């Protein structure tokens, strides 16, 4: 990976065996990464990036203005999000199976064995999020497959740093970001539909947006809601 400078814009350039140039603006600080076909000239890359500078600056501005949580220490009283709501973590040490329970008093009860490490507490909470988001997807997916007229071979959940979702069109495999369990449920539904629509239209063009408009007329509101939610603290590296 090399560096390229275009005016005041610094970017990471990665030449790969791909057909089309792809520009990514990465959280949390708006780092710009460009993946370009191996045969593409520097001049052609610069021209393509310059044409997207307004979009790049907009994405960077969004990241700069987005609230961020401090690093989570997994202690009682700490704030954690679940389906868009803020909960106070309540660590309960006792012998038995590790689990998380949503209490009715705005708390997330985290049951762990005495002496459980911070990293293992995080793992228990992560697996709780994974279980909850998978259950929601299982309920949403059949309906949206019927409404879009497409069917996926697999829909999974994993931690992603640069995308809320991804779609392998050839294999009809969808991945959704684990952190969507921290956002309002309608954000998960929007991203699920977004990836399904890629099986109808590969590119983010007018046809793609027309599908979204027809299937989810308020998709922009849900997208904006997702973009305005606080970003989790991460030790980002690329």
Q: What is the set of domains in the chain, with CATH numbers?
A: 2-65 (no CATH), 117-228 (3.30.2010.10)
Strand order in the sheet with 107-112: 79-82, 85-93, 107-112, 99-102
Give which of 18, 23, 57, 44 is closest to 162, Cα–Cα: 23
pLDDT in tens, 154-185: 999 999 877 899 999 999 999 999 999 999 99
Q: In 3D, which of 158, 162, 183 has the Cα closest to residue 69? A: 183
Q: What are the φ and ψ backbone dihedral angles of 10, each rounded to 5 degrees?
A: -100, 140
Q: Which residue has the higher pLDDT, 43 or 225?
A: 43
Mean per-residue pLDDT for 17-32? 81
For residue 43, the model assigns a pLDDT of 93
Residue 69 has a pLDDT of 60
What angle do helix axes 42-51 and 53-65 make, rounded to 10 degrees?
A: 60
Lowest model confidence (mean pLDDT) among 16-20, 23-27, 72-76, 175-179: 23-27
pLDDT of 54 > 60? The answer is yes
- The answer on pLDDT for 70 being more than 70 is no
Map tokens 């849900």 to a residue.
222
Interatomic CA distance for residues 124 and 183, integer angstroms: 19
Report the C-alpha gap between 6 and 34 in whole angstroms: 12
> By CB neighbour count within 10 A (0-12 exposed, 13-18 middle, 19+ buried), where does 98 fall?
middle
Structure tokens at 183: 């956002």
Taking the C-alpha atoms of residue 188 and residue 181, their distance in angstroms, rounded to an integer, is 8
Computed on alpha carbons and rounded to an integer, the radius of gyration of the chain in Å comes to: 20
Cβ proximity of 63 and 28 under 8 Å? yes
User: Residue 135's pLDDT is what?
Assistant: 97
pTM over 0.75: no
pLDDT digits (tens, 9 = 90+) for 195-214: 999 999 988 899 999 999 99
Which tops the pLDDT comparison, 91 or 104? 91
| Residue 65 CB-half CA count within 13 A | 8
Both tokens of 107, joined, read 């708390």
DSSP single-letter state for residue 56: H
């Amino acid at each position: 990976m090399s560096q390229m400078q275009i005016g005041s814009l610094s970017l990471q350039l990665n030449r790969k065996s791909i057909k089309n140039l792809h520009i990514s603006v990465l959280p949390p600080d708006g780092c710009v990464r460009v993946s370009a076909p191996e045969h593409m000239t520097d001049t052609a890359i610069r021209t393509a990036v310059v044409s997207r500078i307004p979009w790049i600056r907009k994405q960077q501005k969004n990241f700069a203005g987005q609230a961020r949580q401090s690093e989570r220490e997994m202690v009682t009283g700490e704030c954690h999000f679940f389906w868009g709501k803020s909960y106070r973590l309540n660590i309960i040490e006792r012998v038995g199976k590790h689990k998380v329970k949503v209490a009715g008093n705005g708390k997330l009860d985290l049951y762990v064995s005495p002496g459980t490490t911070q990293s293992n507490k995080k793992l228990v909470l992560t697996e709780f999020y994974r279980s909850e988001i998978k259950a929601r997807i299982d309920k949403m997916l059949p309906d949206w497959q019927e409404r879009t007229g497409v069917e996926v071979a697999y829909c999974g959940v994993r931690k992603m740093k640069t995308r809320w979702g991804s779609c392998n069109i050839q294999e009809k495999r969808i991945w959704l970001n684990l952190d969507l369990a921290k956002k309002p449920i309608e954000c998960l539904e929007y991203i699920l539909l977004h990836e399904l629509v890629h099986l109808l239209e590969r590119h983010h063009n007018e046809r793609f947006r027309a599908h979204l408009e027809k299937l989810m007329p308020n998709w922009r509101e849900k997208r904006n809601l997702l973009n305005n939610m606080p970003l989790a603290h991460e030790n980002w590296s690329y």
